[in-house]
Chain A
């Protein structure tokens, strides 16, 4: 530590430049992770918020809600399966909403995900304003609060659904509920059914059509249920999230960038310290000649990398939070402190690990180089 700190202090310019590179890498890693986290939330926050362990789809739907069509009458059959505690039906549609008076100048229609649930089931999120869904108010809806904050809708507003004669009334708001990158708009299942299957035959002849069931129960055996109930597939909640359109592609892309970034940073940091070590071969030779052990020099190098990386990563985190404040509110950016800490530790471990290259080099330095003229 003694040598490491003294040298850092003495070679400010050199180490500031290396530190700056680590700062930039860390900054980019944290921004990407925040973006990835934000995108995946946007894509499937509603599903992620579910308490359910399993989701039941129509056989062949491939864990995609829009491809799945089931009859609500299956509910009692699923409830009867071993381990099942609770079952709730779920249905989804994408709609554009607009004020009943029509769109005036400067306004836009707003795309939302219309999600059909039964009032009082565990799929109903907690309302932060107004009241929850009520079977007696058939066209009452509970929307994501960003509809209020960003789009100017308020409780009591009656709004039209584009391309339909149906109208809904906003009775409550919920937080952090998005589905398919769109703000969620929860509605009574009956209402959603009226909207989705207004045209005769559009429900493929399925009575009381819904898209899927969410199943609560830790001891549910998915394989068993597939055998016992006709025409369904049962997947875990995480498989259901991965089945959201675009979810795997988005996450995969960002994960790939993160992994590459981290691998590249490992090489960059390793090469920098390796070059520094080679430059100091003579110095290390002298130290070994006057009696320094390999361990003493190795500790000096590793602690130097540790100190430099640690503070650079801290600066990177600080810059990330500063940047987050500047990002527009609509940007799907969501910094999870747990994620920041994880990536911070990964980066630190990688820089310290990559300095081991240099340590290997040190053990090969011959103290004879100190004499300056090896015969």
Chain B
């Protein structure tokens, strides 16, 4: 099981009152699966993604990524875990503006040490697979929104991590581009055998997913 969450709750204190952002959430995603989570804003989707992405620790319950329980890890180990095990596809404009497309991918390798020839070849292969052959040396501001999102997808696969988390990947895209981007994510996930979770409010994209969960008031239900 790549991602496993058991009875996970997250409670925020706000003054005297408590806000239950996640309420006894359980789910499992194994490799090759592409799972979507939909729900209105404020339903706890972001909290879910933050916990699944090892950015936030739960108040209760157990989260395992690979075979590591994130509750037991220190901050430094968490950032290492994120680097090695998780690929994030964030909302737009989350590429480094002063790095060209290729360097944006190689940045992940820089974080863990040296960049080898193989890394560069792998990055080029990923970008080529996503139809960005002619864009290696372009800077993010020279790309369209869809192209930027495709670079972000390539980046999430760069470290060959087992879990891909996508946060509203279609938020700023028109229908055609949104379909193209999500189908690419789906294709890559299947081809490379990753476990993937996409948080979205875009119901048009659900056809690409193996399972769809609905999040409402912190409760997760399978549809």
Contact = CB atoms under 8 A, between A and B. Distances in A.
A368 B83 contact: no
Contacts of B82: 289-291, 367
B88 A370 contact: yes
Contacts of B47: 375
B80 A293 contact: yes
A371 interface: yes
B98 to A, nearest CB: 3
Contact of B84 (A283, A291, A373, A375): A291
A10 B97 contact: yes
Contact of B79 (A293, A370, A373): A293
Given A11-B98, A374-B46, A289 B53 contact: yes
B83 A370 contact: no
Nearest to B161: A291
Given A290-B155, A292-B111, A370 B90 contact: yes
A6 B103 contact: yes
A292 B97 CA distance: 16
Interface string B78-119: 011111101110110010111100010001101110000000
Contacts of B76: 293
Contact of A371 (B86, B98, B108, B167): B167
Nearest to A295: B76
Interface in A267-285: 283
B56 interface: yes
Interface in A1-26: 2-3, 6-7, 9-11
B53 A375 contact: no
A367 B103 CA distance: 21
Given A368-B56, A371-B90, A375-B42, A2 B110 contact: yes
A296 B167 contact: no
A271 B44 CA distance: 38
Given A296-B111, A371-B50, A371-B90, A6 B44 contact: no
Interface residues of B, number: 38
A177 to B, nearest CB: 57
A286 B152 CA distance: 11
A10 B140 CA distance: 12
B49 interface: yes
Contacts of A124: none
B139 interface: yes
Nearest to B43: A375
Contacts of B108: 290-291
Contacts of A296: 110-111
Contact of A7 (B87, B90, B98): B98
Nearest to A292: B111
Contacts of B86: 291
A372 B98 contact: no
Interface string B42-81: 1010110110010110000000000000000000100111
Q: Is the interface of A mostly helix, strand, loop or mixed?
A: helix
A372 B44 CA distance: 14
How big is chain A's contact interface, by range?
20 to 34
B90 A292 contact: no
B94 A370 contact: yes
Contact of B88 (A9, A10, A290, A374): A290
B102 to A, nearest CB: 11
A294 B77 CA distance: 12
B46 A292 contact: no
Interface string A291-307: 11110100000000000
B80 A291 contact: yes
Interface string B136-180: 000100000000000000010001000000010000000000000
Interface in A95-117: none
Contacts of B103: 6
A362 to B, nearest CB: 12
A294 to B, nearest CB: 8
Contacts of A3: 96, 99, 107, 110
A375 B139 CA distance: 31
A288 interface: yes
B21 interface: yes
B83 A292 contact: yes
Nearest to B98: A10
Interface string A206-223: 000000000000000000
B53 to A, nearest CB: 7
A335 to B, nearest CB: 38
Contact of A375 (B46, B90, B96, B159): B46
Interface in A319-375: 367-368, 370-375
B25 to A, nearest CB: 14
B139 A371 contact: no
3 closest A-B pairs by CB: A291-B83, A10-B98, A291-B82
11 contacts: A290-B82, A291-B159, A296-B111, A367-B55, A370-B55, A370-B94, A371-B90, A372-B90, A372-B91, A375-B12, A375-B42
